[in-house]
């Protein structure tokens, strides 16, 4: 196995500041795993959305550990604040009252098939990530908020405009689709 | 790689991304309702942006690129969620159900 890529290789003591930060990161990982587990295995759809919000909160913490608090804030705003809420609205608007269960398919073999597919992808990607010899390139940019803003409007300006058009189309399409059929 | 130093290692974030992707695939295959499948697809998108962020932190020469693409993934996910939710509401109006077993009119 190749050597792991770590910024620092020391083992911090449990009672130092770095050790405490490591404990917080372990709690973040626990949030992500528990949230994803609830989101995919819970029987009620409302609990699935709550698990999704917990998972996204943990991901925001992980982005904070990846040295970009701006992306962590955007994660909280967009995913936890907007996407989870819009899915919760969908559950409230479009679920039959007597059966708001989302139970795993009973009769077919979709449950075991899905589990084996997920386990296959997880193990394959994990082995790939651990075995590959990653090459570290020397740093050129700082990656701070100012550089992100400059790059958005210079190097990635085309993609930025395309994303704007996609969002506009999504808004129009959502309005047209959801408005049709209303009496 | 020590337990309390995990947050400084690239492989930790790659394993988290793989875990999210596996959960997403499992939910996408095994869920019975459209909303459950939508939730699982959000997990898959989150796994992709997790990998972008990890590589931009540890490997890439310019860390801003990975962060910008994470922002793009967030915008795509928001648009996808809005469209999917309006489709779900439209399907529910016509079929009174969001179960994938009931929406089989095109089944041969």
Q: What is the pLDDT of residues B63-99, one digit of tens each?
A: 888 999 999 999 999 999 999 999 888 888 888 887 8
Q: Give B10's contacts (C-beta < 8 A, 6+ positions apart).
A: A4, A5, A6, A134, B54, B55, B57, B58, B59
pLDDT averaged over every residue in chain A: 85
Surface of B (16-75) touching A: CB under 8 A: 16-33, 35-36, 38-40, 42-43, 46, 50, 53-54, 56-65, 67-68, 70-72, 74-75
Q: Note the pTM of the prediction, 2 decimals.
A: 0.89
Q: Residue A3 above 60 pLDDT? A: no
**pLDDT (mean) for B8-19:** 92
**pLDDT (mean) for A95-107:** 56
The DSSP H or E segment spanning A177 is helix A157-179
Pick the CATH number of A13-105 from 1.25.10.10, 1.20.120.1200, 1.10.645.10, 3.40.50.1220: 1.20.120.1200
**pLDDT (mean) for B20-27:** 94
Q: Is residue B102 within 8 angstroms of chain A, CB to CB?
A: no
Contact assignment for A59 to B46 by CB distance below 8 Å: yes
Phi-psi group of A182: left, alpha or beta (phi > 0 → left; psi -120 to 50 → alpha; rest → beta): beta
ipTM: 0.91
A68, A94, A102: residue with CB nearest B32: A102
Domains, chain B, ranges and CATH?
3-95 (1.10.287.3510)
Q: Residue A181 above 90 pLDDT? A: no
């Amino acid at each position: 196995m190749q050597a792991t890529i770590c910024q620092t290789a020391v083992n911090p003591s449990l009672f130092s500041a770095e050790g405490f930060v490591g404990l917080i990161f372990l709690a973040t990982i626990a949030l992500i795993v528990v949230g994803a587990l609830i989101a995919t295995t819970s029987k009620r759809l409302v609990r699935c959305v709550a698990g999704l919000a917990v998972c996204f909160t943990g991901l925001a913490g992980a982005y904070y550990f990846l040295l970009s608090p701006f992306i962590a804030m955007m994660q909280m705003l967009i995913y936890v604040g907007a996407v989870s809420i819009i899915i919760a609205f969908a559950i409230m608007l479009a679920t039959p009252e007597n059966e708001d269960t989302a139970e795993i398919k009973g009769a077919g073999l979709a449950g075991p098939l899905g589990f084996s597919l997920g386990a296959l992808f997880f193990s394959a990607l994990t082995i790939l990530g651990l075995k590959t010899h990653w090459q570290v390139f020397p740093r050129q940019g700082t990656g701070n908020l100012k550089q992100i803003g400059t790059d958005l409007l210079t190097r990635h300006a085309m993609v930025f405009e395309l994303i704007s058009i996609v969002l506009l189309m999504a808004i129009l399409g959502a309005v047209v689709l959801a408005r049709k059929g209303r009496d | 790689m020590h337990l309390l130093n995990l947050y400084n290692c690239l492989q930790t974030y790659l394993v988290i991304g793989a875990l999210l992707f596996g959960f997403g695939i499992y939910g996408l295959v095994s869920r019975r309702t459209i909303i459950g499948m939508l939730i699982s697809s959000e997990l898959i998108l989150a796994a992709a942006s997790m990998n972008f962020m990890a590589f931009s932190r540890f490997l890439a020469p310019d860390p801003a690129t990975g962060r910008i693409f994470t922002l793009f993934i967030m915008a795509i996910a928001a648009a996808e969620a809005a469209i999917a939710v309006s489709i779900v509401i439209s399907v529910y109006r016509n079929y009174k159900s969001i179960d994938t077993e009931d929406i089989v009119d095109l089944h041969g």
